Structures are given as C-alpha cells and as structure tokens.
Structure 1
C-alpha cells in the first residue's frame, strides 16, 4: 500500500502484530532522518572521523534515497523495523562499507530524538501558517460585516447588543494565545539531541554545535540522559493542539447554532454543508460538526502521551518511538 511517498512490503506469512511495526508511523520522517544523517556525516568528515570520500558517497547515496521515496519508488520493509534501519540498509546496499560508517558516533536513541524534534518543528511551521490564514479570515469577515449588530449572550440568554465583528474578533484573540502556545512548543522542540548517543555520549570527538547550526537548531541539550528521554516538546505541542481545538470547537458550535432555524443569524456556504437523504429542505453544518467531534481525539492524544511518559525510567525506552 502507498504511504508517504513509499510502499510497504511484507511477507505473506507475517502476523498482523509484526506488521504493526514502527515503520508504519515513522516513515513519514524520512526527510528529517536523511537531513540529520547528511549533517552527521558531514560533521564526521570535518572531524576526521571518516574520510571525505566516504562522506561524499554517503551524501550522494542519501540524496538518491530521498528522491526514490519522493518518487514513490522506495519499498519500506517491516522486517527492518523503522525508518532509520530502512534507510541505512538501502544506503549500505548502494555504496557498500561506507554506508556502515554513517552510524559512527551515533545511537538509534539520539537519532530517533533528532528526527522527532525536526518533525515537530516542521509541523509547527506548517500549522503556524494556517493559524495566520485563519486569523486573516476572521479579520476579513469582521471588516465585511463591521456594521452588523447582534445580541450578545451570557448563559445562552440575550444580554446586550454587540457588533458581530466584535464577537468574531474574540476568536482572533483566542487564536493569538494559541499562537503563543505554539511558539512555546517550537522553543521546546528547538534543542538538538544528536551526540547524546544511547544515553551517555560517545568517545568520538563530535562537533555538536556544527550539527546544530547545520540543522538550524538554536540550542543543545545540557544533559545526555535528558536529550534521549525528553518528550516534553511533543507534550507541549499536544497541549497547544488540544487548546486550539477547544477554541475551534466553540466557534463551530456557535456557527451550528447561528445557522439553525431557531437563530437564523448566518447561512453557511453549501460547500461546508450536506443535505439530507430523506429531508431535502435540510442543510446540515457537517464541517462544523466534524471539527467539534474531532476535538476529543486531540484530548485523547495528549492524555495518551502523558500517561505513557509518567512511568518511563531514564533514559530511552521503546515507548518513545
């Protein structure tokens, strides 16, 4: 089956449990894994730990693998378990012994941590753009209907007259706070863990600041145990997501109420609604209901990670992948 640009392969005699391997989930981080490996190989050559020839072969091989995945021509193997081993095995098959030297001075533990840090940063950047677009839409609507008066409510009872634009801009303010939460999640993710090794570093003379600069990290971890066991940045992101969805659910609920026959404040565009299979006069606010309904899933993700992390001893455990 197709997934994130590549394909899965599995033997027909493998069980469903074996198929539920890490690669199903972390194959989406192929770009981060390859970028991190290129930076690591470049640093190893700079430090004289591997030769320039090996570095050039590794970088060329990794770029070729990236293109294969982008083109949907890379077969992800469940037997190789995760994204790291899939890429490293393909690299070694392509360039020989030089591919095995890529892992010098690196553990899968700090490699997993690096990939997730970079992936969360990428997703944060994408979501930040969407938040800005949503705020722009609210401002545009507020300006368009700036002279519209509506009842303001407390206890869902009519209280005082207010401007519709004033009501909409309350959600603008909510999203501004969400943006601050997202920035906090970025700051938590913007710490480079590579070099921590499995848990206690390595005797190789690594240049962590060089790798951090190459990958655009502003900070390094002070403690190697913390570097491989920290998932606070993921929790911070999920906290942001849960609060954001709470705000969007409130807005959706108001749109649902306002578009009902009882309120008749607004009419939702047909593209955001569906009709009834038996009652043709109905116009159902499906998109708003889906946003409201999916909010619980975000709460569940946050509680799931918090529950997972509460009992994990130092340092790295498979739970984290």
Structure 2
C-alpha cells in the first residue's frame, strides 16, 4: 500500500508506477532531503507539535538512513516513487511508526521545493568556484603574454593588432559577468519554501523562520502558493548556465581555430586532445569541440523547462517533476566543462612568433595610418580614402605598409614623414590604444590587477558559504 493510498481501492498499474516514479533521478537530492528533515523535526519539537523524545528518535533514525544511503546500502524503490517517500520508508523501517510523525506539517510539494533549493545553492557555489579557477588560468596566460601580439579580428578578418593578454582578459570579463549573475541569483534561490504545505500552509503552529535559519536560508518564501509552484529559480539557473556554456563555446571555437595548421597560434597540451584511429598524424582538440557541442543540450534544458511551465495553473502539478533532470544535467555538464577548461588553458602553448608573423603580414595597422593623417589635420574621411588607396597599391604590388618607401608614402600624401615607420610598428599600434579598456600594455596590466582583486572577493564568498553550510552536510552524512 502506498503511503498516500488510504482513499484508493486498488493499486496503481505497474506501468503507472514505472512512468511516474522519479527515484531514478531525484535520489541526487537524498542528502538535501535529510538536511531538510532534520531541521523540520527539530522545529516540530521546539513548537511542541511532537515530543522531544519522538524528535530525537526520528533524528537518530534519519542519521542512520543518511549513512546507509551514502554507503550504498539503502534500497531505493520505484514503488515508493520519489526520494521523499523512500527516505520516509527507510526511516520507519529503522524507528517504527514514530517515523510517520516526521511528515507532520509539510507536503512533498514544499519538501521538493526545499530540496531543490538546497541542491541548487550548492551547485551555484561550485560553479562560481570553478569559474574563478578558470579566470585564474586565463590570468596566468595573460601575465605570461603581456608582450605577445596577435591579430584582432572582426568578421573573422584581421582588423587591428591586440595583445594576447588583452584577448584573454576579454574572456575573464565574460566569466566575471557569469559569476555576477550566479551570485545574484543565489539570493533568489536561498529562500525556504518549507511550511507552505501542499499549497495553503498548515494548521500546525510551525515556525518557518526557525527552519530557514537552521538551514542557513536568508528568509522564507512568503506566499504559500508561490512557494510550491515557483520554479523561476530553476529557469534562472538554466539561463545563466546557458550563458556560461555559450562563453565556453566561443573560447572553444577560438582554440579549435588557433590550434589548426592554418593558424598555428597555440598548441593544446596532449592531455586535452585525442588522435585518429585511421590517421596517425592527427591531434584533435576534442575537449574544446565537445564543450562547444554540449552547449546545445544546455540550451535544450532551458527551453524544455520554459515549455513545461508556460501553461501550468498555479500550485503544484505533476508536470513539474520534469524540473529536475534538466537542472541536474545542466549542472553536471557545465561543471565538467569548467573543470576541464582551467587546466587546458593553463597548459596550452602560445606560439608568439607565429602570432607576430601574422600581424606583420596584414594591414591591421591601416587605421593607425589614417589616425596619423588626422593628427596632421587631415579630415578623417579624407584620411580614410587616402589609406584605402595606399592599401590597394600594396595589394597590387604584393606588399604591406611597412614595405613601402617614404617616397611611396609621399606619393599618396605629403603629410607622411619618416616617423611613420615607428607609428606603424605593431608594438606602437598596440600601445597607442592607451585608454581605459584599451590594448596598451599598461592598460592590460590594470585589467589584470582589477580582475585579481575581484577573483579574491569571489573566492572569499565561496569560502564563507562552504564554512557556513559544512555543518549541515556533516549532520546529514
């Protein structure tokens, strides 16, 4: 007989049990379910809803159940549908009928919302920590390449030279925004729904704030209907995770291109590449390619969750059982990608000479020739036209700007003097962008210094959370 089966006259069809059971995936919530139950039973005793003796018996039983689940000794069954019913069944097997008092004043509806919030806040902190580690790997490459120049691209065409360190710092900035979004979303995750019951609260004189404090929540979800039906925090996580994997995918694409024979800008460490079963010479950037590919499944989880929720009336509906697998999968997918990316970035070899050679054989210094003429008081549009003619001449003669003689330059404009060769040198071009956010070396050093401080702040935030919540984990393991 199901724990809820009192009003039924026949058992559910076996196919229904199999189709509706969630224990195959929501067992990931076991430790969080027990954390919530320990806080709940303590509150029940404090509020004199159950006796202190019964609460202590239930607490000891939950601790035994937690150890059995952790050791793989607990039998989790589809018959008991989900992690909540399985834990309750294991508890009553340990302590007898008194275990049934644990569910006083709560429903699986507020219980699952609680478990998911506990799981997700841990997941957010894990991803923030991994993002900070990836930022550190990018900073290490930036610090090592403050004098490395490569072409900057627009439309995948060479545009203007930049420092490789500047390019790395662009990704540090992207991941900084990801960290900000995850940390900001934490405050919306970190609210306790427990006590909302099935949808309308409970007649028992519970203390919701006491449970919230015990579980280190910042407060409670005020409206009971909202508490059990809200999955905005899941959608927000899936959306933020989609941005993380999108940024990783963009960096992956650059690594795939840069490691090709056509670019030869970097070489990825052998530990993060694979070979071909047929072509012995091959070294494939499979990690970068697979991260790029996995962006699709993360986006799919976001769209799936939005689609599930879009037509649901308020309060809990069985459709919402679909809220977990996508959340679990997205976390594991992004976590795995970030864990791989940091060491892959840190160990890659930057081929400085090849990058510099590419800059020397293009027209990415053409804008500086135009700016040079503007500084000689030629209107920019006229300067632009002059430089366009110079570039066309170079293309026809199979030359680059620095290959031209001063006489060649003067054939296009008398404003051009001997100092043009210094102005058009890649090092000068890069360091001329001496504004906040520019690619001049001293400005990139400023970016690095500022990023290091923000990463330190992020790591302190992670450490504070871990110290606060470790007590909960120890109590339920």
What range describes the TM-score normalised by the shorter chain of this pair?
over 0.9
Residues 110, 239 of structure 1: CA spacing in aligned structure 2 closer, same or farther, 3 A cutoff? same
Report the equivalent of 1:3: none
Larger relative contact order (CA 8 Å, sep ≥ 6): 2
| SS of residue paired to 1:162 | strand
Task: Give the Å deviation of 1:21.
Answer: 2.1
- Structure 1: unaligned runs, 5 residues or longer: 1-12
Question: Given the alignment of the two structures, is residue 319 of structure 1 paired with residue 287 of structure 2, yes or no?
Answer: no
Query: TM-score w.r.t. structure 2 length?
Result: 0.64
Report the equivalent of 1:7: none
Report the equivalent of 1:51: 51
Question: Given the alignment of the two structures, is residue 211 of structure 1 paired with residue 211 of structure 2, yes or no?
Answer: yes
Task: Give the Å deviation of 1:34.
Answer: 0.2
In the TM superposition, 1:1-321 aligns within 5 A as 18=18, 21-321=21-321
Q: Which has the higher strand share?
A: 1
Count how many residue pairs are aligned between Structure 1 and Structure 2.
309
Q: Which runs of 4+ in 1 moved over 6 A?
A: none
Task: Give the Å deviation of 1:184.
Answer: 2.5
Given that 1:184 and 1:236 are in contact with CA atoms closer than 8 Å, whether structure 2 keeps it comes out as no
CA distance in structure 1 between the aligned counterparts of 2:46 and 2:232, rounded to whole angstroms: 32
Report the equivalent of 2:334: none
Deviates more, 1:183-192 or 1:211-220: 183-192
| SS of residue paired to 2:66 | helix
Query: Larger C-alpha radius of gyration, 1 or 2?
Result: 2
CA distance in structure 1 between the aligned counterparts of 2:258 and 2:273, rounded to whole angstroms: 14
CA distance in structure 1 between the aligned counterparts of 2:14 and 2:320, rounded to whole angstroms: 24
- Structure 2: unaligned runs, 5 residues or longer: 1-12, 322-477
Given that 2:41 and 2:59 are in contact with CA atoms closer than 8 Å, whether structure 1 keeps it comes out as yes
Given that 2:17 and 2:79 are in contact with CA atoms closer than 8 Å, whether structure 1 keeps it comes out as no
CA distance in structure 1 between the aligned counterparts of 2:204 and 2:155, rounded to whole angstroms: 65
Given that 2:17 and 2:81 are in contact with CA atoms closer than 8 Å, whether structure 1 keeps it comes out as no
Given that 1:138 and 1:168 are in contact with CA atoms closer than 8 Å, whether structure 2 keeps it comes out as yes
C-alpha distance after superposition, 1:70-114 (max 9, x if no partner): 111111101100000000011112111210000000111100111
| SS of residue paired to 1:150 | strand
Q: Which has the higher helix share?
A: 2
CA distance in structure 2 between the aligned counterparts of 1:17 and 1:32, rounded to whole angstroms: 24
Cα RMSD for the two superposed structures: 1.4
